[in-house]
Amino acid sequence: MNKLSKCAYPIIWKCNLSCHGCSNYSNHRIMANESLPDWKNELQLFAKHFTVEKFYILGGEPLLNPYAEDIIYESFKFSDKVQLITNGISLKSNLWLQKLVLENNNFEIYISYHQSKELIGKTKYDEIFISNISELLNISESAIIKKIQAFKDVSLPKGISLIPNVYLGLTYQDWRFPKLDNNDIPLPYNSNYVNAKMNACHCPVPHLYKNKIYKCHVTALLPDLLEKHGKYDDNWHALKDYEPVSLKMENIIEYKNLYTPEPVCSICPESIDEFEKGNKRDKYNKIINLVLDN
């Protein structure tokens, strides 16, 4: 039996936000029609080979998956701690989370706040976002805004604690943005300095996706996106050569979180440079659209 320190499970591509430069590529509406995973079979296969110290459930927006609650409970069969990563827009529609977070110390909710500093609490997005959190946690909206404003310049690995095991993450502090072409499709860096890419990487977090274990979300999700856009060409040679571990193997003798550079890292489109250099900070922070058809 292999034990991972962490593993992520994207349970849906679809999202009710469209954030320019989304690191999980959920701003590409073409991917919203991807079918949901066969999660029962997938998690059973996973549990046959692995246990996990911390299992992350994410999307897209995972609460748009109608089986999100069942997936969370199933995950405790092989994981010590489970964290739901949500954008918070659907919390009012999923008040079953109240009981789970209050009664299970091994369950966490991480709420991603996609807002620029100067617009905190001032947009329609904020209105919906903050009211959803307020109803779920029974905290006043003004108290939530004060917490955000008080800590907006502080980097906290777990985010701001709203109540025990519920955290609010300020994405403008630590997002890694993909290098994009004019149509917002990721481009490879094609760098020979692989170690530099790993130093800037906010992963690697193994990803369970389509019955395979991938090094990170880029290796898991990007091929499908590029295929849909007809852009999976020879520029992505290292990604094409990358081989994930199949859960359908009879014996997976050894697998661990891969923190060492691999050839695929040389073309990773995500880098902290996209955030810290040039004029991209405002571009990424401000273009956040509510998708009203969800």
CATH code: domain of residue 220: 3.20.20
Band (256; pLDDT cuts 50, 70, 90): low
Q: Which two tokens stand for residue 156?
A: 């906290």
DSSP-assigned letters across all residues of 106-159:
TEEEEEEE---GGGTT-SHHHHHHHHHHHHHHT--HHHHHHHHHHHTT---TT-
Domain count, the chain: 1
Residue 37 has pLDDT above 70, yes or no: yes
Q: Which stretch of 91-95, 117-121, 140-144, 198-202 has the lowest confidence by average pLDDT? A: 198-202
Q: How far is it, in rounded angstroms, from Cα 62 to Cα 10?
A: 7
Task: Encode burial over 159-173: b for 16+ CB neighbours within 10 A, e otherwise.
Answer: bbebeebbbbbbbbb
The string of pLDDT tens digits covering residues 270-279 is 765 554 554 4
Domain hosting 228: range is: 1-294
Q: How far is it, in rounded angstroms, from Cα 49 to Cα 51?
A: 7
Band (19; pLDDT cuts 50, 70, 90): confident
Nearby residues of 24 by Cβ (< 8 Å), 6 or more positions away: 10, 58, 59, 60, 217, 221
151: left (phi over 0), alpha (psi -120 to 50) or beta: alpha
Closest CA to 189 of 263, 283, 282: 263
- Displacement of CA 72 from its chain's centroid (Å): 16
* Whole-model pTM over 0.75: yes
Residue 109 has pLDDT above 50, yes or no: yes
Task: Give residue 292's pLDDT.
Answer: 54
Query: How much of the chain exceeds pLDDT 70, in percent?
Result: 82
The string of pLDDT tens digits covering residues 281-291 is 445 554 567 76
Residue 214 has pLDDT above 70, yes or no: yes
Closest CA to 7 of 49, 66, 36: 49
Mean pLDDT of the chain: 85
Task: Encode burial over 99-127: b for 16+ CB neighbours within 10 A, e otherwise.
Answer: ebbeeeeebbbbbbbbbbeeebbeeebbe
Q: How far is it, in rounded angstroms, from Cα 53 to Cα 78?
A: 9
